Chains A and B, each alone.
Chain A
Amino acid sequence: MTYPSDYIGIAISQETHRRLSELKEKNNEINFDSVVNRLLDLEEKYNMPTETFEYELMINSKKSKLFRVTYSDKVTIEYWNSNKLAFEKDIKVWFTGYKIPSNDLNAFIKFIIKDSNLGLLYEMENELVQNGVWIKRV
């Protein structure tokens, strides 16, 4: 079977494949991707951890800040260019890393972290971005 280009193949054991196949058949799922997403939905809904993660922010290949957020916090990245909001993204705290590429010498980022009650935890702006931004869990 040929898969569309947005599919990625990962290696799993035969036993894991058997267990996923069983769930797929029993629940009439259309494909394995649906099964994996359902398992992830359950994990993320019912097993939300309470621990705190540490993230470092790297701008232009320089480490900028180490900060802590809890699992339920909302992290928003705003990417501004010439005083206009060019890009905005909410990222889940459990992501291990996120990169914004930038070749625009006039761009700067506003990086905002808010907790689940939308209280401001951290805000940084007016940092020129020439070489991309990494938000990396450490």
Chain B
Amino acid sequence: MAKQKTLNIRRNTYERLQAHKQLGDGFNSVLVRLLDRWEGFYDLSE
């Protein structure tokens, strides 16, 4: 992964992200998957 940035998140958020990792995933892959799925629906009402 070229040109990295550091994202600072709370420990609880880190653990939530960790739980969504699939085999071979890094955190960036998890976030990309979440963004691909949900960035167009971010303001979806509950």
Stretch at the interface among A88-96, A103-111, A124-132: A88-96
With beta carbons under 8 angstroms apart, the residue of B11, B32, B34 that contacts A8 is: B11
User: Which residues from 1 to 46 on chain B have a C-beta closer than 8 Å to any C-beta of chain A?
Assistant: 1-11, 13-21, 26-28, 31-32, 34-35, 37-39, 41-44
- Total chain A interface residues with beta-carbon distance under 8 A: 33
Chain A residues near B8: list those with CB within 8 A.
3, 7-9, 32-33
Residues of A within 8 A of B1 (CB): 11, 13
Q: Collect the chain B residues with CB atoms within 8 Å of residue A22's CB.
A: 39
Q: Chain B residues near A32: list those with CB within 8 A.
A: 7-9
Picked from A6, A14, A17, A39, the residue with its CB within 8 Å of the CB of B38 is: A39
Pairwise interchain contact A27-B19, C-beta atoms closer than 8 A: no
- Give the chain A neighbours of B16 by CB distance below 8 A: 37, 40
User: Which of B10, B21, B43 is A96 in contact with, Cβ under 8 Å?
Assistant: B21
Minimum distance in angstroms from A95 CB to a CB of chain B: 5
Task: Name A residues whose Cβ lies closer than 8 Å to a Cβ of B.
Answer: 3, 6-14, 16-17, 19-20, 22-23, 26-27, 32-33, 36-40, 42-43, 46-47, 92, 94-96
The 10 A-B pairs with the shortest beta carbon distances in the complex, nearest first, are A39-B34, A17-B5, A9-B6, A10-B27, A42-B38, A11-B4, A12-B28, A8-B14, A7-B8, A94-B19
